[in-house]
Amino acid sequence: MSACRADRRIRFPLFRRRTTVPAIGAALAALALSACGSGGTSGGGGETQFVQGTGGIDVVKDRDKRTDAPEISGKTLQDEQLDATEKFKGKIIVFNVWGSWCAPCRAEAKNLVKAAEAYKSKDVEFVGLNVRDPDPSLAKAFERTFKVPYPSISDASGKVILRFPKGSLNPQAIPSTIFIDRDGKIAARALKPLGEDELNETLDQLVAEK
């Protein structure tokens, strides 16, 4: 799949007047994500200690070098409050950033759904983050079409994305997938649509960690 590139213009909802100029700049930087990446893009700096895989999946091999994941919480597309960090504490969390308008998001959806069902019994939970969908009905239609069994937090303003520490394996593309280990730390990141084998390989490694 070709990428929705970073230089493409992205329209944003209006910010409240009280939002500071630096905060707006940070939000724009976080939301000006290259979408539908074909893999291979790395982010962060030397302190992240991650190793870029041949398939474009960055992995922090040394568990002591992993960065704490931020609080992942908010209103879901079904208008229910979800604190995934607390609810799934002690479990592996697969955090997928997607939009209903993104063709590669649709392409990977069936793989995410299949993995979510296959790894549920292995203490793996999936959580979506729906971005740039100001009309929730489009996102809900996406979930129905692909029979998505896990919740997605609505993040049209990009506030949840901003919680990820700068310089960490933070989301930088649509789609992005963040893998959080049982200790609540960021273990891996993909800036591309994921295939079934890639998902299974990454999850098998995390499930095997004791």
Q: Which two tokens mark 191?
A: 């800036």
pLDDT at residue 16, rounded to an integer: 38
Digit-coded pLDDT (tens) for 5-41: 333 333 333 333 333 334 434 443 444 445 554 433 3
Pairing of strands 57-59, 73-75: unpaired
pLDDT at residue 194, rounded to an integer: 95
Could you give phi then psi for residue 22, rounded to 5 degrees?
A: -60, -35
Q: Which two tokens mark 168?
A: 């960490």
pLDDT at residue 168, rounded to an integer: 66
pLDDT at residue 195, rounded to an integer: 94
Contacts of 40 (CB under 8 A, 6+ apart): 52, 56, 192
- Between helix 136-146 and helix 103-118 the angle, nearest 10°, is 50
pLDDT at residue 176, rounded to an integer: 92
pLDDT at residue 154, rounded to an integer: 93
**What are the DSSP E strand ranges found in the chain?**
34-35, 51-52, 57-59, 67-68, 73-75, 81-83, 92-98, 124-130, 152-154, 173-174, 176-180, 185-190
CB 97 within 8 A of CB 177: yes
Q: Which two tokens mark 32?
A: 């000006």
With a cut of 70, list the residues of the chain below it in pLDDT.
1-55, 167-168
Could you give phi then psi for residue 203, rounded to 5 degrees?
A: -70, -35
